[in-house]
Structure 1
Amino acid sequence: MYEQGAPAGRTTLTAEIRRVLARVDAHAARATARARGAAGTSAGPDGSGAGVVAAPGEAGAVPGESVGEEPSALASLPGPGTAPLDALTACFSFTSFERDLVLLAAAHEVEPTAAARCAAACGDPERAYPTFSLALAALAEPHWSALTPVAPLRRWRIVELDDESRLTTSRLRLDERILHFLLGSPYLDARLHGQLRRTPVPKALTPSYDLAATRLAEGWTNATEAPLVEVTGGDLRSRADIAAAAAARAGLGLYSMSAEDIPSDPAERDRLARLWQREAILLPAALLVEAGELDRDQRAATDSFLAGAAVPVVVSSEDPLRSERSYGARVTVPRLDDDEQLGLWAGAFEEIGLDEGELRSLVAQFQLPPHVVRSAAAAVHRRLPHEDELDAAGLAWRAGLDEARIGMDELGRRIAPQAGWDDLVLHERQTSVLREIVAHVRQRATVHQEWGFAATLRRGLGVTAMFAGGSGTGKTLAAEVMANELGLDLFVIDLSQVVSKYIGETEKNLRRVFDAAERGGALLLFDEADALFGKRSEVKDSHDRYANLEVSYLLMRMEAYRGLAVLTTNMKNALDTAFLRRIRFVVDFPFPAEHERAEIWRRVLPPQAPVKDIDPALLAQLTVAGGSIRNIALSGAFLAAEEGDRLQMRHMLAAAGTEYLKLERSLTPTEVRGWV
């Protein structure tokens, strides 16, 4: 870092300002002498020839090829302890004349006598301020190119002209940010507030994240072209943590901005780029550009902004950006293995005191980023003294679910599991398969890792199931029972809403679902699988080919998913047998027989409900599935409550008529025989 505010740095600045003002005084003396006819030469007191303007190509002129060169924040950074004035000169490659011109502008702000001395040197009491003509006349080795728009002073907005139409006589002002920098008061330029935010350096990184940060830092320091690197995958905070650690290792701070905030107007975008590049050198700092879902215009603006990057920039995105631009390094946020996850959870919950078995259970279920694990531990620590129902392990599990479901609610319908095995009315054959599915999910850590099956099988380790049966036969209820047994969230994903007619959009929607669900291994129930899975037809056009790709993509993600993925269908026979072979479990949910319907009626009526002459055996004559039975029971209860009477068969009859209208069916005399 520069020697901001150090006494030696300020002493140097004061001495340099006095030196420049002494030249102004000398010029004033010469001007006065000439006015009295006493001056015979234009040479300065030190024989430097002050006041003679060097033409391009002469000694003291700036070579044309150096004008407008981009400074590099890594290549030209002065070492630690460098005074701000020297750092500014080195970073922006000032000539001695440009350096003195900056000092002259600074003198007007910090030296009370500077205004009067400038007026005396100009011979005009109205011009009590520094001008370019004064600088050309009074300072050593002057050159006209110092104030061209592409030269460092104006290109990087070090100094500004009050009136650009009067180049030599307009007041020269030192930019406020530069003045404070010289005086040792660093800060982010106020014009960047609201667009940029400081990204803190994480206290610690996991070993794999630490290695990723090292690679990013090396990508900056070893860059032969623009110092541009990229970090992809993971979540936004994890990418920022890795980038901040990389910046710290390169001796830089890190500021972040969204790609959506990059101006689409070229002039505004250029101003932003110049302002930031100047800040990157003064602070010094790197920039993290968060590139999310961008439209065509915003992507073009982002590409243009990145193309002009001459200072360290890291692009953060979920997927690698398509670009012909070369990157110093491209790093993907690594997936933490079980040992790293165990160490992460153990460190976060150290003060809470979970044993190794409880920690391994959490690791087997949740794949959360480090910052989310720490957030979950903090939540448990806050709630533990006030919790009576759950122990520390239970609170940790609940906190993991709370953190994992963030981002899932917008992708599907979450059902808080409450149903148990007693709520299911199924044949023992189906129930035993459901219990086997639960065992596969619950014991996957033991079988895959401890027993080594993951190393030998490698693929197809996800637990997948197909629930086939008519509407209302209990498919969703069975999924809820399993989620409750496993202590997981149940998310119902409507595939008819996921499937898109636009090529590639279906896969993108499915990826969002699985990526979000991976954090907590939620039970995913893909409803209406028939919207995507039918008999795979012969490929006749591009749409057929992409439809088959969508099927293959979903199967691939299901087989790799850590949790349980369930598909439901009303038309099992319409599904391709090649597809069915890739599903581990297929459970048929038949239409319930009459005795099963009677049992459903008994379970659906609460014991505290006031009933009169309700006969489940008679109600079971209705040829409807469990979903319709629940609808009829609830509607009948509302009719009875509205009358202020007990629930009776006549209420059920009226409710059954309404349900049958919805199903576009008619009640038959056989179904309601003996009801009223």
Structure 2
Amino acid sequence: MKDAARALLLRLEHLRTSVAALVESRSADDPTAQDPLRGLYVSADTAARLAATPLPRTPEAPAAVAAHIPVQPGELTPPEAGEPLPPSADRLALLAGDFGLSELDAAVLLAALAPDVDRRFEALYGYLNDDVGRRRASVALALELSGTGPYDPEARGRFHPGAPLVAKGLVALEDEERPLPGRALRVPERVVAHLLGDDTLDGQLGHAGVELLAPGGAAPEDGVAARIALAERPVAVHLRERRAGSGADAVSLALRGAGRAVLRHRPEHVDHGAARALLREARLRGAGTAVVVELPDEQPGPLVRELAAPDVTVVFAGTQPYDPTWAPAAALLALDDTAPETDSLTAWSEELPSYEGDLAEAVGPYRLGAGQVRRAARGALALAGFDGVPVGLGHVQRSARLLSAPLLDRHARRVRPAVGFADLVLPDEPLGMLRELAGRARHRDRVLGEWRLRTGGGRGRGVVALFAGDSGTGKTLAAEVVAGELGLDMYVVDLSSVVDKYVGETEKNLEKIFAEADRTDSVLLFDEADAVFGKRSEVKSSHDRYANLESAYLLQRLEAFDGIAVLTTNLRANIDEAFTRRLDLVVDFPFPDVELRAQLWRSCLAGVPQEPGLGAELDLCAKEFELAGGAIRSAAVTAGYLAAGRGEAVSSADVRVGARREYVKSGRLVPGTGTAWTP
């Protein structure tokens, strides 16, 4: 038997002696003591005896009942045949110190939990409660066993909602309809299990999203997280993160490295019962245990007020700024997460030592905290193990992409890239600028952070590019290629969900998108960007004024943007010059010449069965039909459907039909006819 269980049973043996003395005292002058139906009804004699019993004049219980219940470690005397119990085994005494309990509190707690450990107390309590159906200690019975009674105002105060027993979740009062002396006391099973030596995490917390992290890892170094972990006294901290989860990961690692257990909580909403159980769990596990809470995006105040405790280290991590109204009664420290983002490469290297290739190049686009890196690396190893191959670039990208919060789905359409640079047909200059754009996204932390080439003014580390060119010249395809090269998802902003007729609503919708993009590793695409990034005009009406306000907001927001964004437009002249200054790259997509059009025809039909000699026909179509890349792709699709309908290979006639239809769609004259062609 564990020492903790022996210590608790020894205390219960002391309590049983007191209960026996009280039973003997009660039965000595109780004429109904031998009545087999005692406790099922109240006779006239019993009522008369109770009415004639005077109230106690002093708060002292009878000597036979007021048995001393020790609450200091080492006061227990083990049975003669048993081995000596170390002070650490007496968990009730340790719990009393950690929870700030008085000797009376500890005695009440012991009396309340007795039936949960020893069933004999159920029958004894039923007798003492004069009700065979009430087999738990009532408030009056627990106080009487502790040497006092409900007539003592100080003793009654131990059951106040703000008193340690109730406020800290050690005892619950049942039977709300009864007066206080008759209310039953119940001790949560987690508390009973702890006193018996069981340190399993509370099941209620497991369902609420709480994870227990054991001590271990490297000792914390300098920084905010290290100062929190090495603080001599419990602290309550609001840690503002650069992105969701980064600060919480850093603090959790530092606390564990300092030899402290961590209860990591990711709540979706405020659950008062779970919050109380979380603090109780931290206290049960000792003063070194800390709580790290990832604050929800909306209304975190109630959760902060519930969990801010002076005797437990609690770290509230979130991207929102600190609000002093969250916990006005608590001394909450407001700190910023200042851990360098370049540390993530070290974490990747530690988790993937056998990775073949340039690891820095592979993980450069991802802005993950150390804890997220470890989860992503383990996911990549699991994927590689499932495939039966060494971990590679695809495994790393897929696992890291899963950790990027897909919160943009509410405002944008996600595109999983399925193309690469081999699918682009562009002149060398724009193609080189697209590769430069991918390189900027990979190396921005080193250039702007480590090399300190970022200017002040609160500017972010974002990469913003403008793709300008006629419709169908490949702007959207190029954005998808860049996203695929970086191993990121692309989100196309839906302008219908952004633009609003009410003043100020468009800016609010854009702010939601930018805020989520800052927290997400992805490429954000504003297609037809001149709809929201247009030029400011002279104010001639209220409409002009509010339109200019929208542009001013976007100018400010781009300065602080930390993500990757691509703006596309068919009319570059419509983009405000102030936006152009804030762009990292402006890529012009020219209308394809004859040579590029021929390459586009061949690229679009590369995987299609073709009749012999079709290549020459494609060269002729490139000369005769001045089509952009998007139109050529549509013409190739039309030719493919015509051939599939016949069950044959694509012929020259199919290609010409497709090209002519694209001319008709655009309202242009078909070459060689002088009129619009119809099939």
Fold conserved (TM > 0.5)?
yes
Give deviations 1:89-122, integer Å, cap 9, x for gaps: 4456555555444444444555565566667778
Aligned to 1:73: none
Mean CA deviation greater in 320-329 or 305-314? 305-314
Is 2:377 the counterpart of 1:344? no
Q: Contact 2:380–2:396 at 8 Å: present in 1 too?
A: no
What SS does the aligned partner of 2:530 have? Answer: helix
Q: State the match for 1:580 in structure 2.
A: 580
2:213 is the alignment partner of 1:200? yes
Spell out the pairing of 1:240-389 with structure 2 (5 A cutoff).
242-243=251-252, 246=255, 253-254=262-263, 256-262=265-271, 269=272, 277-284=279-286, 287-294=291-298, 301-302=302-303, 305=306, 312-324=313-325, 325=327, 327-338=331-342, 340-350=343-353, 352=354, 358-362=358-362, 364-378=364-378, 381=381
Task: Say yes or no: does 1:150 pair with 2:160.
Answer: yes
1:638 matched to which residue of 2?
641
Deviation of the 1:365 alpha carbon: 4.8
Deviations 1:587-614 (A, max 9, x none): 3323334564345334433376333775
Alignment partners' CA distance in 2, 1:214 and 1:432: 44
Give the Cα separation in 2 of the matches to 1:112 and 1:435.
Answer: 75
Distance across 2 between alignment mates of 1:448 and 1:135: 66
Compare relative contact order (CA 8 Å, sep 6+) and give the higher one, 1 or 2.
Answer: 1
Shift of 1:629: 1.2
Q: Is 1:404 equivalent to 2:405 in the alignment?
A: no
| CA–CA distance in structure 2, aligned partners of residues 312 and 232 of structure 1 | 18
Counterpart residue number, 1:424: 425
Q: Aligned in 2, Cα 1:499/1:105: closer, same or farther, shift over 3 Å?
A: closer
Contact 1:660 1:667 in 2 (8 A): yes
Aligned equivalent of 2:492: 493
Q: Which amino acid aligns with 2:418?
A: A
Separation of aligned partners in 2, 1:164 and 1:469: 76
On the 8 A contact 1:416/1:490 being kept in 2, the answer is: no
Native 8 Å contact 2:465 2:585 kept in 1: yes
The answer (yes or no) to whether the contact 1:507–1:553 under 8 Å persists in 2 is no
- Name the structure 2 match of 1:70: none
1:86 aligned onto 2:93: yes
The answer on whether the counterparts of 2:467 and 2:587 sit within 8 Å (CA) in structure 1 is yes
Q: Distance in 2 between matches of 1:608 and 1:108?
A: 80
1:555 aligns with 2:564: no
Q: Specify the code of the residue in structure 1 equivalent to 2:415.
A: R
1:511 equivalent in structure 2: 515
Deviation, 1:219, is 7.0
Return closer, same or farther for 1:573/1:239 CA change in 2, 3 Å cut-off.
same
Q: What is the letter of the counterpart of residue 178 of structure 2?
A: S
Q: What does residue 18 of structure 2 align with?
A: 20
Q: 1:665 to 1:572 in 2, by over 3 A?
A: same
Deviation of residue 490 (structure 1)?
A: 6.6
Q: Find 1:234's aligned residue among 236, 243, 249.
A: 243
Shift of 1:635: 0.8
Give the 3-state SS of the residue equivalent to 2:147 in structure 1: coil
Secondary structure at the aligned position of 2:534 is classed as: coil
Residues 640 and 117 (structure 1), Cα distance of their counterparts in 2 relative to 1, 3 Å cut: closer
Preserved contact between residue 157 and residue 175 of structure 1 (Cα < 8 Å): yes
Sequence identity percentage = 26
Code of the residue aligned with 1:414 in structure 2: it is R
8 A contact 2:265–2:294 mirrored in 1: yes
Deviation at 1:636, TM superposition (A): 1.6
SS in 1 for 2:374: helix
Matched residues in 2 for 1:219 and 1:631: separation?
Answer: 65
Alignment of 1:53-202 (within 5 A): 53=56, 81=88, 83-90=90-97, 96-108=103-115, 110=117, 114=121, 140-144=147-151, 145=153, 146-147=155-156, 150=160, 152=163, 156=169, 158=171, 160=173, 164-165=177-178, 168=181, 176-187=189-200, 194-201=207-214
Question: Following TM superposition, by how much is the alpha carbon of 1:575 offset from its aligned partner in structure 2, in angstroms?
Answer: 1.7
Residue-by-residue CA offset, 1:350-370 (whole Å, 9 max, x unaligned): 3x1658xx3444465544332
Q: Does the 8 Å contact 2:472/2:629 carry over to 1?
A: yes
TM-score between the two structures when normalised by the length of structure 2 = 0.71
Q: Contact between 1:495 and 1:532, CA under 8 Å: does it hold in 2?
A: no
Q: Which amino acid aligns with 2:490?
A: F
> What is the number of residues matched between the two proteins?
607
Inter-partner Cα distance in structure 1 for 2:593 and 2:250: 59
Using a 3 Å threshold, how does the CA distance of structure 1 residues 274 and 640 change in structure 2: closer, same or farther? closer
1:465 offset after TM fit, Å? 3.6
1:663–1:247 Cα change, 3 Å: same
Q: Report the counterpart of residue 214 of structure 1 in structure 2.
A: 226
Q: 1:591/1:403 Cα in 2 relative to 1: closer, same or farther (>3 Å)?
A: same
Q: What are the superposed Cα offsets for residues 393-423 of structure 1, whole Å, 9 maximum, x if unpaired?
A: xx443333223323376453232233428x5
Change (3 A) 1:281 1:125: same
Q: Any idea what SS the aligned residue of 1:260 has?
A: coil
Report the residue type matching 2:245 in the other structure. L
TM-score, structure 1 normalization: 0.72
Tell me the distance in 2 between the aligned counterparts of 1:104 and 1:453.
65
By how many angstroms is 1:13 displaced?
1.1
SS of the residue 1:258 aligns to: coil
1:546–1:109 distance in 2 versus 1, CA, 3 Å:
same
CA distance in 2, matches of 1:431, 1:551: 28
Counterpart for residue 626 of structure 1: 629
Q: How has the CA–CA distance of structure 1 residues 362 and 80 changed in structure 2, closer, same or farther, with 3 Å as cutoff?
A: farther
Secondary structure of the residue aligned to 1:405 is helix
Specify whether residues 508 and 606 from structure 1 end up closer, same or farther in structure 2 by C-alpha distance, changes over 3 A only.
same
For residues 122 and 28 of structure 1, what CA distance do their matches in structure 2 show? Answer: 11
CA distance change for structure 1 residues 592 and 159 in 2, over 3 Å: closer, same or farther? Answer: closer
Q: 1:88 to 1:659 in 2, by over 3 A?
A: same
CA contact (8 A) 2:479 2:525 kept: yes
Query: Residues 238 and 322 of structure 2 are in contact (CA less than 8 Å); yes or no, is this contact kept in structure 1?
Result: no
Mapped to 1, the partners of 2:436 and 2:237 lie a distance apart of: 51
Q: Distance in 1 between matches of 2:442 and 2:137?
A: 78
Unaligned stretches of 5+ residues in structure 2: 34-53, 62-85
Deviation at 1:631, TM superposition (A): 0.4
Which residue of the partner structure matches residue 38 of structure 1?
A: none
Report the Cα distance in structure 1 between the residues aligned to 2:637 and 2:160, rounded to whole angstroms: 78
Per-residue CA deviation, residues 656-676 of structure 1 (Å, 9 max, x unaligned), is 465456545564654789999
